């Protein structure tokens, strides 16, 4: 059965071969994006299991290289963060995979910066392919040795000669990185607007002799229009000379699409799809005369690449052992079914864990504001493992504490009401919060009291804990929080422990945990 499936995929690859004349040069560009540390298969957002992983992508990459002579391979970012095996190696295991497959370029995404510049610099040092990112430059503060090391490895573009044709590959990260990462994670780095960057770089690439222009960017097309992090529409409008845009970041599958008549292709996430772009360059006309693209699904019909398995087997075994380690027991299910806006036992577990971690460090807070990730199953009754907590807390966010007046906190919570009907909504712990999400902005906070129901002293500052993602504005969702956190009067104190680490340690300490609901926030009557 598996052999038939492989033959079927191989036939598909052969059928994709483009018939060309003597003056025409076929060029194949394979691309991955948002691998997020997935070597082995995983689960899609829709619940499809046994899909994706770079071990499967590698099999098809090698097959296509066997059948096509002019093949380039690029990655569009967020390759490292997301799985225990990558986390435990500081991302190095994914760099090993990229090296083994001889990627022609690697364009970074926002999550490449999640673990700070020291670990990223180590990955950059080990990477054998060019790291192509044009819109990251030195900031005025100068940074440190790690930022300098990283900047020395970044190239705005590369030019690859393919069968006599010069292909220019330009790389862009999302300019939204500073809205997700606090300055302590990205010292000395400035993330520049995409259009501003391309106005400078495109002429340079042409000047370097590039006949084909390929943009690989950790940004995604949005039907609603561009935002601070995704500028595909503006790029396509202002740079019609681009032959193809390879997108990423938004975790969407675009097999073949046109943006302002530029071919756009995006290969979803986790390696569930491998992207393929086919270009035909006419050497007499000196231009691309045909172009098309597709994304190939990496499901159970695709075998694992033995070289990738051999290369990563030790790290995978170690990560699986760590993930299987029991840390405690749940007396009943801790569910998340009340998403997005109702309190759940998972909220309260995370709150209690953060409070405990801060107390261990001699810090007492009046309130914690935090959310949970959508589409997660919570924790099942019975033994809890490290891997179970990874499913509840998949991101490496640290904790910071700010000193806010009650009026400041009301502004932040009013801003939070904008997210009431989606998974970005944040709950509160330590204070009783009543609100009306349907009221006018600035009038949605009905009440904010101490846990015992007593009034807050409006002249006294409250110590409030948030995670680092939200303190950076959470992708500009909490702009007011970012403004307040950056004010000297807020006395922001950032701690190195991560939310996931806090939850794991808390469960270990407790031994047994039970689902609880603190009743910390209430929607006023008449609102769901």
pLDDT tens-digit series, residues 478-527: 999 999 999 999 999 999 999 999 999 999 999 999 999 999 999 986 54
240: which DSSP letter? Answer: T
Q: Tally the C-alpha atoms within 13 A of residue 206's C-alpha that lie toward its C-beta.
A: 12
Instruction: Name the 3-class secondary structure at 111.
Output: helix
The structure's pTM equals 0.93
Sign for the CA dihedral angle at 34, 36, 40, 45 comes to negative
The size of the chain, in residues, is 528
**Cβ neighbours around 334 below 10 Å, total:** 24
pLDDT tens-digit series, residues 446-458: 999 999 999 999 9
Looking at residue 2, its pLDDT comes to: 37
Rg, the chain, Cα only: 25
Residue 423: name the closest of 336, 341, 335, 527 by CA.
341
Give Cβ neighbours of residue 73 (< 8 Å, ≥ 6 apart).
Answer: 29, 30, 31, 61, 101, 102, 103, 104
Looking at residue 143, its pLDDT comes to: 84
Per the CB < 8 A criterion, the answer to whether 2 and 303 are in contact is: yes
CATH of 25-44+84-102+112-319, one of 3.40.50.300, 3.40.50.2000, 1.10.3720.10, 3.60.21.10: 3.60.21.10
Per the CB < 8 A criterion, the answer to whether 371 and 423 are in contact is: yes
* DSSP-derived secondary structure for 408-465: HHHHHHHHHGGGTTSTT--EEESEEEEE-TTSPTTS-EEEEEETTSPPP-TTS-EEEE
Domain range list for the chain: 25-44+84-102+112-319, 326-523
Looking at residue 142, its pLDDT comes to: 81
pLDDT in tens for each of the 528 residues of the chain? 433 444 445 445 544 554 556 789 999 999 999 999 999 999 999 999 999 999 999 999 999 999 999 999 999 999 999 999 999 999 999 999 999 999 999 999 999 999 999 999 999 999 999 999 999 999 988 889 999 999 999 999 999 999 999 999 999 999 999 999 999 999 999 999 999 999 999 999 999 999 999 999 999 999 999 999 999 999 999 999 999 999 999 999 999 999 999 999 999 999 999 999 999 999 999 999 999 999 999 999 999 999 999 999 999 999 999 999 999 999 999 988 766 688 999 999 999 999 999 999 999 999 999 999 865 679 999 999 999 999 999 999 999 999 999 999 999 999 999 999 888 999 999 999 999 999 999 999 999 999 999 999 999 999 999 999 999 999 999 999 999 999 999 999 999 999 999 999 999 999 999 999 999 999 986 544
Looking at residue 368, its pLDDT comes to: 98
Per the CB < 8 A criterion, the answer to whether 242 and 235 are in contact is: yes
Per the CB < 8 A criterion, the answer to whether 94 and 36 are in contact is: no
Sign for the CA dihedral angle at 229, 495, 83, 391 comes to negative
**Cβ neighbours around 383 below 10 Å, total:** 12
Per the CB < 8 A criterion, the answer to whether 474 and 425 are in contact is: no
Looking at residue 482, its pLDDT comes to: 98
Looking at residue 13, its pLDDT comes to: 52
How large is the angle between the packed helices 92-100 and 54-67, nearest 10 degrees?
A: 10
Distance, C-alpha 279 to centroid of its chain: 29
**Euclidean distance between CA atoms 178 and 186, whole angstroms:** 8
Per the CB < 8 A criterion, the answer to whether 31 and 265 are in contact is: yes
Architecture of domain 326-523: Alpha-Beta Complex (3.90)
Looking at residue 375, its pLDDT comes to: 56
């Amino acid at each position: 059965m598996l052999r038939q499936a492989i033959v079927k995929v191989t036939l598909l690859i052969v059928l994709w071969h483009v018939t060309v004349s003597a003056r025409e040069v076929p060029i194949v560009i394979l691309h991955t994006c948002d691998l997020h540390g997935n070597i082995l298969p995983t689960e899609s957002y829709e619940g499809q299991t046994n899909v994706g992983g770079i071990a499967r992508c590698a099999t098809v990459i090698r097959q296509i290289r066997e059948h096509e002579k002019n093949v380039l391979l690029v990655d569009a970012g967020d390759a490292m963060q997301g799985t225990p095996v990558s986390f435990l190696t500081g991302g190095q295991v994914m760099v090993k995979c990229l090296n083994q497959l001889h990627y022609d370029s690697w364009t970074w995404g926002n999550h490449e910066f999640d673990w700070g510049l020291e670990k990223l610099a180590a990955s950059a040092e080990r990477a054998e392919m060019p790291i192509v990112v044009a819109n990251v430059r030195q900031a005025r503060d100068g940074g440190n040795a790690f930022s300098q090391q990283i900047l020395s490895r970044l190239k705005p573009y590369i030019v690859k000669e393919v069968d006599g044709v010069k292909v220019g590959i330009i790389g862009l990260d999302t300019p939204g990185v500073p809205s997700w990462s606090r300055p302590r994670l990205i010292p000395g780095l400035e993330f520049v607007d995409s259009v501003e960057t391309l106005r400078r770089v495109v002429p340079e690439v042409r000047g370097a002799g590039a006949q084909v222009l390929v943009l690989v960017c950790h940004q995604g097309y949005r039907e609603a229009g561009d935002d601070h992090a995704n500028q595909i529409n503006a790029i396509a409008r202002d740079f019609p000379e681009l032959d193809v845009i390879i997108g990423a970041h938004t975790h969407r599958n675009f097999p073949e699409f046109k943006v302002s008549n530029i071919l756009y292709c995006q290969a979803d996430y986790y390696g569930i799809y491998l992207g393929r772009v086919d270009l035909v360059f006419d050497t007499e006309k000196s231009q691309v005369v045909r172009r098309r693209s597709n994304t190939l699904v990496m499901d159970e019909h695709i075998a694992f690449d033995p070289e990738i398995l051999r290369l990563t087997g030790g790290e995978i075994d170690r990560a699986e052992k760590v993930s299987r380690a029991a840390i405690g027991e749940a007396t009943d299910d801790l569910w998340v079914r009340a998403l997005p806006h109702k309190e759940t036992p998972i909220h309260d577990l995370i709150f209690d864990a953060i409070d405990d971690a801060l107390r261990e460090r001699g810090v007492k807070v009046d309130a914690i504001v935090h959310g949970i990730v959508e589409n997660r199953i919570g924790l099942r009754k019975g033994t809890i493992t490290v891997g179970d907590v990874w499913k509840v807390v998949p991101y490496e966010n640290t904790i910071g504490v700010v000193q806010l007046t009650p009026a400041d906190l009301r502004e932040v919570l009013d801003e939070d009401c904008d997210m009431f009907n989606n998974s970005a909504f944040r709950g509160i712990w330590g204070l009783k919060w009543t609100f009306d999400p349907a009221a006018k902005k600035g009038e949605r906070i009905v009440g904010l009291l101490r846990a015992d129901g007593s009034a807050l002293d409006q002249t006294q500052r409250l110590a409030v804990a948030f995670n680092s993602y939200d303190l950076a504005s959470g992708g500009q969702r909490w702009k007011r929080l970012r403004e307040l956190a950056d004010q000297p009067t807020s006395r922001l104190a950032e701690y190195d422990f991560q939310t996931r680490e806090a939850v794991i340690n808390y469960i270990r300490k407790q031994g047994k945990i039970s689902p609880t609901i603190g009743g910390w926030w209430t929607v006023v009557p008449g609102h769901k």
